[in-house]
Structure 1
Amino acid sequence: MCAAPLPDPAPTTVGFVLVPDFALMTYAAAVEPLRAANALSGRILYRWWHAAPGDCPVPASNGLTVAPDVAIGAESPGADWILVCAGGNPSDFDDPALFAWLRRLSLRPGAVIGGLSGGPYLLARAGLLDGRRCTLHWEHIPAFRERFPRVEVVRSLYEVGPDRMTCSGGIAALDMMLDRIGRDHGPGLAAGVADWFLHNQIREGLSPQRMALRQRFDLRDPRLLRVLAVMEENLEAPLTREALADLARIGVRQLERLFRERLGTSLHRHYLGLRLDQAHRLRRETAMPAAEIAAATGFLNAEELARAERRRRRQAE
């Protein structure tokens, strides 16, 4: 006598909370693998819905709009995962009603609350990441660390825990969803979804977010690569030219020549650009006073930082 076939597993329902100027690529990279898993398996493994502040159509960063089908504040929206997708400048977004709703949903047994791209910023604003480990887009990390010291931030592609998941954004959302599909329904289906999207390598969560310096600058010189890495890690207390030359095991003049020949700029100008970019991010994404931003980026005071910014603007004109 043949055994009765096993029933199909209950679908996992995913709620996408989209805030204005959300990152469309991130959202698409998160929802499309769910659609593909359904299509390739021939079963409804995943369902999803959308919510948005104000319960109105919400624009993505490129202007495309998505209409919500669940109201913010709904008592029983029916979701196993709630994923908040943000982009642009999440530090400017403030919606107490949304934050309160997310806190209520996080209390439901088995609920997983997540953030994509700038979404973890909003989870932290809601108090949902205190004492937890998370990741978010590398551009937002410096300001995030200043504002939320109780959250452990890592520069990984994604972080998945029992009741939280966070993703740095972009196509890292595809890798995170492939990881979840593999856990839920086996590595074969995850590999099939990856193949369908021409994604020939499923990256692990701890993979780095950014290109290696070797690729970013098209460099092979280990001396320059060593110096560039140290520069990026030491913006608050910049190293002297002599200290950087010692790291490269060459003289200052030779290091300067390498910068001009390989990068088309001087050592000083490159290092200054890194610090000014960091100051710009902190000003845009935090309420830090100018003096604190200056101190965090290696300037003596706010006046020195302002002068450096004015010089760069004049040079760009």
Structure 2
Amino acid sequence: MPNQTADPPHHIAFVVLPEFSNMGLALAIEPLFVANWLAQRQIFRWSILSLDGLSVRASNGMHLPVDGALGEIGTYRTVIVVASFNVKAHAEDQRLLNWLRRMARFGADMGAIETGSEILAAAHLLDGHPATVHWDNLEGFQERYPDVEAVTQLYTMGRGRMTCAGATTTLDMMLRWIAEQTDTGLADEVAQHFLMARQRPPHQEQNAPDTALGSVANQKVQQALGIMQKTTDEPLLCHEVAARVGLSERQLQRHFQRHVGMSMAQQYLQFRLAKAHKLLQQTDLPVTEVAISSGFGSLENFSRTYRRHFGCSPSADRQQSTTAPVFRHRTMGRG
């Protein structure tokens, strides 16, 4: 039987923004339900809010009914923003930002799933705090919010703030949060019901394609790839990269063909286009500045190369939506 003398449930508001991740929301709510079920009492309760009180379309096309609009339902001990695509537009919604600031002033802990961290950053609620940013949004986030310590670990938690990279890291973060709100024993039981043999620590790094380059077997190629990534704004000549790793250009080109599957120049261009793609979709930087930051000395050359790769001009690719062009990250060879 439920404990009638127990503390009132911890009330959580999930603020879901259009094109949010349905997976992220589910992995946040389901552990709360399982914790309540195991405890045989309502430790947690939650409300799902949208900007206008109407249903919200997820990135997968499903429409989610909500419990109300911002400001319509009670007070909350914790507020978690759930967002994924097209977050840049919502980061300028002053009504949303003001409501979040008000919740924080009233003492609510603030959290974010995936690009929800950008909303908290836009409200200046992450200034001076570490915040986890999904690897695909890191460069854009750092450009827009220099006062926030952007990190690529799985999740962060502390001083009334918690953020995660989304997807499966949402479950890791929520299990840790449940442990802090109740006890580790209950969180471990919840993890067992989710078939999680091991709960990942917050400081573990995301498996981003760029960091996964370290899995390339050849050490010289690893070093060269690292140099290329750090010099996308001022690309080196291929023989200069080779000299830095102690090989001739011909030797390093052979290693690239074997271990990466393309030439050095092709890989360099991939890094530069990836950077340009993120800056265009995730920031408001002028196209000319994006071109320079990506190592293109000529705007005409940048536009021509970008159009050839993405099928549109740089100026037509300024939204990170589900219908926008996608940059595919190749899996590096391991042989």
TM-score norm. by structure 2 comes to: 0.84
Change over 3 Å in CA distance of 1:226–1:186 after alignment to 2: farther
Change over 3 Å in CA distance of 1:53–1:213 after alignment to 2: closer
Match of 1:56 in 2: 54
Task: Give yes or no for the alignment of 1:295 onto 2:292.
Answer: yes
Match of 1:266 in 2: 263
Q: Does structure 2 retain, via aligned residues, the 8 Å contact 1:18–1:58?
A: yes
Residue identity matched to 2:196: H
Secondary structure at the counterpart of residue 49 of structure 1: strand
Q: Does structure 2 retain, via aligned residues, the 8 Å contact 1:19–1:85?
A: yes
1:47: how far off?
A: 1.0
Match of 2:139 in 1: 142
Q: Does structure 1 retain, via aligned residues, the 8 Å contact 2:213–2:225?
A: no
Deviations 1:4-60 (A, max 9, x none): x99534322111000000011211111111112122232222111100011100011
* Most deviating of 201-210 and 224-233: 224-233
CA–CA separation in structure 2 for the residues paired with 1:55 and 1:15 = 13
Q: Which residue, 13, 21, 24 being the options, matches 1:23?
A: 21
Q: Which residue, 280, 285, 295 being the options, matches 2:282?
A: 285
Structure 2: tracts of 5 or more residues without a match:
312-326, 328-335
Secondary structure at the counterpart of residue 55 of structure 1: coil
1:69: how far off?
A: 0.8
Q: Does structure 2 retain, via aligned residues, the 8 Å contact 1:16–1:48?
A: yes
TM-score norm. by structure 1 comes to: 0.89
Secondary structure at the counterpart of residue 54 of structure 1: coil
Q: Does structure 2 retain, via aligned residues, the 8 Å contact 1:213–1:219?
A: no
Task: Give yes or no for the alignment of 1:81 onto 2:73.
Answer: no
Match of 2:34 in 1: 36
CA–CA separation in structure 2 for the residues paired with 1:57 and 1:51 = 9
Change over 3 Å in CA distance of 1:293–1:182 after alignment to 2: same
Match of 1:200 in 2: 197
Secondary structure at the counterpart of residue 41 of structure 2: coil
Change over 3 Å in CA distance of 1:120–1:215 after alignment to 2: closer
Q: Does structure 2 retain, via aligned residues, the 8 Å contact 1:214–1:220?
A: no
CA–CA separation in structure 2 for the residues paired with 1:287 and 1:273 = 22
Q: Which residue, 1, 10, 13 being the options, matches 1:12?
A: 10
Match of 1:167 in 2: 164
1:262: how far off?
A: 2.1
Alignment of 1:105-254 (within 5 A): 105-109=103-107, 111-211=108-208, 219-254=216-251
Q: Does structure 2 retain, via aligned residues, the 8 Å contact 1:182–1:189?
A: yes
1:219: how far off?
A: 3.1
* Most deviating of 50-59 and 257-266: 257-266
Match of 1:90 in 2: 87
Q: Does structure 1 retain, via aligned residues, the 8 Å contact 2:291–2:299?
A: yes
Deviations 1:238-258 (A, max 9, x none): 343234324443222111111
RMSD across aligned positions (CA): 2.4
CA–CA separation in structure 2 for the residues paired with 1:216 and 1:25 = 27
Structure 1: tracts of 5 or more residues without a match:
none
1:108: how far off?
A: 0.7
Aligned residue pairs total: 309
Residue identity matched to 2:80: L
CA–CA separation in structure 2 for the residues paired with 1:65 and 1:36 = 24
1:212: how far off?
A: 7.1
Change over 3 Å in CA distance of 1:122–1:188 after alignment to 2: same
CA–CA separation in structure 2 for the residues paired with 1:116 and 1:84 = 6
Q: Does structure 2 retain, via aligned residues, the 8 Å contact 1:132–1:152?
A: yes
* Most deviating of 148-157 and 56-65: 148-157
Q: Does structure 1 retain, via aligned residues, the 8 Å contact 2:135–2:208?
A: no
1:155: how far off?
A: 1.4
CA–CA separation in structure 2 for the residues paired with 1:219 and 1:292 = 32
Q: Does structure 2 retain, via aligned residues, the 8 Å contact 1:16–1:49?
A: yes
1:164: how far off?
A: 1.7
* Most deviating of 164-173 and 36-45: 36-45
Task: Give yes or no for the alignment of 1:255 onto 2:239.
Answer: no
Secondary structure at the counterpart of residue 174 of structure 2: helix
Secondary structure at the counterpart of residue 68 of structure 2: coil
